Each structure stands twice: as C-alpha cells, then as structure tokens.
Amino acid sequence: MNNILKFAIVLLLVNLVAASILAGVYGITRPKIEAQKRLAQEEALREVMPGSIGDKLEPVEEEGRVKYWQVFKAQASRPVAYIFVAKKYGYSSVIESMVGMKKDGTITGVRILSQNETPGLGAKMIEIISSRTLVSVIKGIFSKDKRPEKEAHPYFTEQFKGLNVKRIEISEGSVQAITGATISSRAVVDSIRERGLEILNAK
C-alpha cells in the first residue's frame, strides 16, 4: 500500500513539473506564435485581393470577432469587394481558406490557411507544381538575365480565380478535384460557395 502511495505521489509530482514546463514554454512562445499568425493573415489578405481592385480594408466585426472584410477603392463610400474565411470539414480535418470576392461574386483569389488532410492526397491542395528542371536551374545560375521569376501558387486554388461563387462546383467546367481527394476538394468548394453566398445575400 505504501509503495502504491509513493508511486502515486511521484507520478503527481512528475505531472506537475511537466505541466509547469509546458505552461512556461507556451507563455514564452505565445507572442511569437500570435505574431506569425498575424503576418500569415496579412500576407493572405494581400494574396487574395489585388490592389488594383481595392486598396483599403475594413473589418466587419461581431462580438469582437472579424466576420469578413469589406474592400474599398480609394475614397469610395461603398465596398467593391469582400474577403472572408471559409471553413468545412474535409476527409480528416477542418480545411480553412481565405477568399477574395468582388461584389458580383467573382473570386479574385483563394489561399488555404490551414488543413491536415492526408499527405499525398488531400494535402495536395497546397502543392505547387513547378515546370523547372535541374537543367533549367543550372542554366539560370550562369545566365546573365536575372529577371525575377513569376511567383508560383498552388494549382488547386488557382482554379478558383475568375469563377463565380454562385456557380462553383466540382466539375470539368468549374473546379477539378484533386485526384484521389474528392472529399477534400468538395469541402473547399462547398465552404467557399456557402460562405460567399451568405455574404452576398446579406447585402
């Protein structure tokens, strides 16, 4: 009985020490994590909404949380576009994406913010396909032409640009699903359509 009590006390002390260490580490790293999240959000906002469409963002909040952003052009009093976050459960995780959308529902850009789908399948939604080869890279090193390369984006999210949220679907003429990951692909499409229509219908 004494041995069991000793083991219980030791286990309790170990758990207390471990919990204290974790709390301390979290307290130290939390500001950095929050700063990284803010930077990622700012980058995503710029990516999904070109400056040529609107150059001023105004958050629409509810109970202290941002529901979506209104996008204004110059000194215009009415928004010309919106930016929102869409979420839906895919195959194995909640997929969260940021979307830029004009007033008529035309999508200006999509960026996946978070997902934990199956590697090699659903996770391909953030995969960037490059046409560069080893030979072209080596040639580029010795080339005198040092023009910056065009920034590459994931091929899956690039499909959304120019489509209308009112009509997007998984089909040959709209958004093509990732091979072997139809559930993940459909979750992204459905979440964007549903959230986009919710914002448009509220106007």
In this prediction, residue 149 has a pLDDT band, given cuts at 50, 70 and 90, of low
Q: Is the pLDDT of residue 181 over 70?
A: yes
Q: Is the pLDDT of residue 38 over 90?
A: no
Residues 5 and 32 in one domain: yes
Average pLDDT over residues 28-36: 76
Average pLDDT over residues 144-169: 78
Burial (0-12, 13-18, 19+ Cβ within 10 Å), 113: middle
What pTM does this model have? Answer: 0.74
Residues 92 and 147 in one domain: yes
Burial (0-12, 13-18, 19+ Cβ within 10 Å), 144: exposed
Considering 13, 29, 47, which residue would you say is the last residue of a domain?
47
Residues 55 and 38 in one domain: no
**Number of domains the chain contains:** 2
Residues 174 and 77 in one domain: yes
Residues 31 and 87 in one domain: no
Residues 32 and 70 in one domain: no
Residues 12 and 103 in one domain: no
Residues 28 and 83 in one domain: no
Residues 27 and 61 in one domain: no
Residues 104 and 15 in one domain: no
User: What are the pLDDT digits (tens) for 87-146?
Assistant: 999 988 999 999 999 999 999 999 999 888 878 777 777 777 655 555 555 655 656 555
Residues 107 and 151 in one domain: yes
Q: Which two tokens stand for residue 127?
A: 């995969």
Cβ-proximal residues to 92 (8 Å cutoff; 6+ apart), any chain: 116, 117, 118, 122
Residues 14 and 55 in one domain: no
Q: Which domain holds residue 173?
A: 49-201
**The residue to which tokens 């040639």 are assigned:** 139
User: What are the pLDDT digits (tens) for 55-100?
Assistant: 889 999 988 889 999 999 887 789 999 999 999 999 889 999 999 9
